[in-house]
Amino acid sequence: MGNTKKTTVYEDIKALLRSRIEQGELAVGERVPSEHELGRQLGVSRHRTRLALRELEVEGYVVRRRGSGTYVAPVQGAIPASQPGLTNTVVILFPKFENRYARRVVEGFIAYMGQASTPSIAYNFYSDHESEVKAMRSIVDSGVLGLVAWLEHDTPTTRAFLESLRRRRFPIVLVDRYFENLDIDYVVSSNESMGFALTNALIEKGHRRIAFAGHKPSVSSVMDRYRGYERAMRETAGNGAEAVDRALVLDLDAIWDNCRVAIRNVMALRDKPTAFVCMHDKVMQHVYRETLALGYTTPDEIAFASVDDMHPASDLPPVPGAITVAQNAITVGAESARVLKDRIANPDAPVQCVFIEGGPIVEASLTGCDASSVST
């Protein structure tokens, strides 16, 4: 049997409430016990129940009404059509991600709207090709003022729906990802700059055979990180030399399906890599685990760099000496709110394409516990 992940008290409370909601024990619209009531029932502090309810709100399971209480939200964040009282409300729609980055983007959005005295709602959903358009259509039909959408799938159906919203002059802003050649506002991290900086930091440490782990051309954030990696490799190669050895580019699907095989294949190359740029921290942990199993030491034989998406700690080992750069999640969320407000105020304004720079590059200690800044 594999290792079981340890959970905190508030995560257990959150899982209990989520299970009761998903199984129908707490129906849509039903009032959820307050922080005090939950603490008394479960014998825990109010601090822990507050954290659990706050995360359930961010994830779209509950809605909080000032002066009234906390209530079970519509299933998977779906808003009933023509729901009264939403005409002055804005919504942020996001997939069910298991990382703090996504939650902090939502927090930045909600905080900005709160300061602007604009009612806001956060809804999340199980992301697939059909649910994205269905969720957006439900929200738009509810009569809300505007929408910020974090979309996963760049499909003809999704593009057609977004284009229809643009023609209708409905205020919508994409966040974290954008669709190329689509004339719609978006706010994203400066992923190409981060990919370039991480790769360049490895190059300055003397690495030349650098692999990229997590290539996925259908996701703009990943592709921009790859473009930064490619640009750094190209500048180093110079003189028209081939910038990237495609044998060193690992597809994300290959890593998720069978990371062991993917890493064994790349490490079996005659001219194997000495470093990996990974699309995010979770991919880095998986790749590191497999190189460790093959007997390589880090960072002496294999070095790692990744964008930090703030995935929760897992049973995978920390990566000693890893170079990382964090995204400014709160700023991404706040800027998406600002751009949405601008679009609401002026539906015919030029499209805004906003790139938010990441934080400084940091390098973990050899134990993987501490980090220090790295100048590049």
- pLDDT at position 370, please? 52
**Both structure tokens of 44:** 């825990």
- pLDDT at position 86, please? 67
pTM, to two decimals: 0.76
Cβ count within 10 A of residue 296: 16
- pLDDT at position 129, please? 65
Query: For the chain, how long is the longest CA-to-CA vector?
Result: 70
- pLDDT at position 85, please? 56
- pLDDT at position 173, please? 98
**Whole-angstrom Cα distance, residue 119 to residue 300?**
52
Instruction: Of 140, 138, 122, 124, give the one whose Cα is nearest residue 80.
Output: 138
For 191-327+360-373, CATH number? 3.40.50.2300
Q: Does domain 1-73 have CATH number 3.90.550.10?
A: no
For the chain, domain boundaries: 1-73, 191-327+360-373
Give the ranges where 207-251 is alpha helix by DSSP (H): 220-237
Residues of the chain with pLDDT under 50: 1-6, 76-82, 240-241, 368-369, 375-376
- pLDDT at position 11, please? 78
**Whole-angstrom Cα distance, residue 76 to residue 264?**
39
- pLDDT at position 18, please? 82
- pLDDT at position 233, please? 93
- pLDDT at position 51, please? 82
